[in-house]
């Protein structure tokens, strides 16, 4: 009998050893990070380039919400910056709604990214689609979008031969575009995104006096819809200090401000960085 017990115990221990510690949401992700809360998922990579996943299933794809704006920065950020784009967000525009009902007021590219103004990105995205159509034709414009959004589109590219209509789902309002903390982190790490990440950092830190200080973090935060629960949001936060990059997803009921607070708390970012 004791042999069976011993074998069972050994088997259980093997199971314990094999189980990723990340599945315990209460467990501290690492010595230099604070514990996650239930429902949070974190993907993190340090200078060694090894991706670590913690918390709720950090490989599960969810609507990417405001993180879609980072893909737009890659796709059209340089054009928009050179145009010095502006937008006046009143909360509604051409039948579409910003997540902030009262509107963001007048925004430029930096403010639209910092405050995650959906309507500004929608308006500028539509302008870009017109430019692509003129410069590359419908097929060329479609290829640009497929290439940029591919990692988050799966097989959900709207059918057709031309540039799809730039509607709110392309700005992350809906579940057309999906990411997991792991896939978003992989995207941020890809050298193909180097220029876009550099631009994102510059835009997000444009109001900060110490933006060139070593170790300063850029953090992009925003909301995402919750599938099957139209009134609810979840939140995303992605950021980097140049040596550590992390993507945090917060569960249902959390908003943009929660995303920023929790990212800073989990990554134990000192005030001023």
The DSSP result for the chain, as a single string, is -HHHHHHHHHHHHHHHHHS-GGG-TTS-SSTTSPPPPTT-EEEEE-TT--EEEEES-TT--EE-GGGHHHHHHHHHHHHHHHHT-EEEE-SEETTEE-SSTT--EEEEHHHHHHHT-HHHHHHHHHHHHHHHHHHHHHHHHHHHHHHHHHHHHTT-PPSSSSPPP--GGGGTSSSSSEE-HHHHHHHHHSGGGHHHHHHHHHHHTTT-TTTTSTTPPEEEEEEEEETTEEEEEEEEEEEE-SS-EEEEEE-TT--HHHHHHHHHHHTTPPTT-
CB of residue 172 to Zn ion, shortest distance in Å: 13
Q: Quick one: 104 or 178, whose CB is closer to Zn ion? A: 104
CB of residue 90 to Zn ion, shortest distance in Å: 8
Q: Does 117 bind Zn ion (CB under 5 A)?
A: yes
Stretch that binds Zn ion, among 73-81, 113-121, 147-155, 187-195 (CB under 5 A): 113-121
CB of residue 254 to Zn ion, shortest distance in Å: 19
Q: Quick one: 92 or 210, whose CB is closer to Zn ion? A: 92
CB of residue 222 to Zn ion, shortest distance in Å: 11
Q: Does 247 bind Zn ion (CB under 5 A)?
A: no
Q: Does 104 bind Zn ion (CB under 5 A)?
A: yes
Q: Quick one: 104 or 256, whose CB is closer to Zn ion? A: 104
Q: Quick one: 22 or 107, whose CB is closer to Zn ion? A: 107
Stretch that binds Zn ion, among 91-99, 143-151, 166-174, 219-227 (CB under 5 A): 91-99
Stretch that binds Zn ion, among 37-45, 102-110, 158-166, 219-227 (CB under 5 A): 102-110
Binding residues vs Zn ion (CB under 5 A): 89, 98, 104, 117, 119
């Amino acid at each position: 009998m004791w042999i069976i017990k011993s074998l069972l115990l050994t088997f259980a221990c093997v199971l314990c050893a094999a189980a990723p510690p990340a599945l315990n949401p209460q467990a501290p992700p690492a010595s230099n990070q604070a514990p996650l809360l239930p429902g949070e998922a974190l993907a993190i990579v340090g200078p060694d380039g090894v991706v670590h996943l913690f918390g709720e299933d950090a490989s599960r794809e969810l609507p990417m919400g405001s993180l879609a704006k980072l893909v737009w920065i890659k796709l059209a950020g340089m054009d928009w910056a050179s145009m010095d784009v502006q937008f006046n967000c009143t909360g509604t525009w051409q039948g579409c709604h910003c997540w902030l009902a009262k509107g963001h007021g007048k925004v430029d590219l930096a403010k639209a990214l910092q405050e995650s103004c959906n309507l500004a990105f929608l308006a500028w995205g539509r302008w870009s689609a017109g430019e692509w159509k003129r410069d590359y034709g419908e097929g060329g414009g479609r290829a640009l979008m497929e290439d940029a959004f591919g990692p988050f589109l799966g097989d959900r590219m709207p059918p057709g031969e031309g540039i799809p209509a730039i509607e709110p789902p392309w700005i992350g309002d809906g579940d057309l575009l999906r990411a997991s903390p792991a896939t978003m982190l992989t995207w941020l790490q890809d050298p193909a995104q180097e220029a876009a990440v550099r631009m994102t950092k510059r835009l997000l830190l444009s109001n900060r006096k110490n933006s060139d200080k070593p170790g300063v973090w850029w953090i992009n935060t925003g909301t995402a819809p919750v599938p099957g629960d139209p009134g609810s949001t979840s939140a995303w936060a992605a950021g980097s200090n140049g040596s550590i990059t992390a993507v945090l997803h917060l569960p249902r009921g959390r908003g943009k401000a929660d995303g920023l607070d929790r990212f800073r708390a989990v990554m134990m970012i000192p005030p001023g960085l």
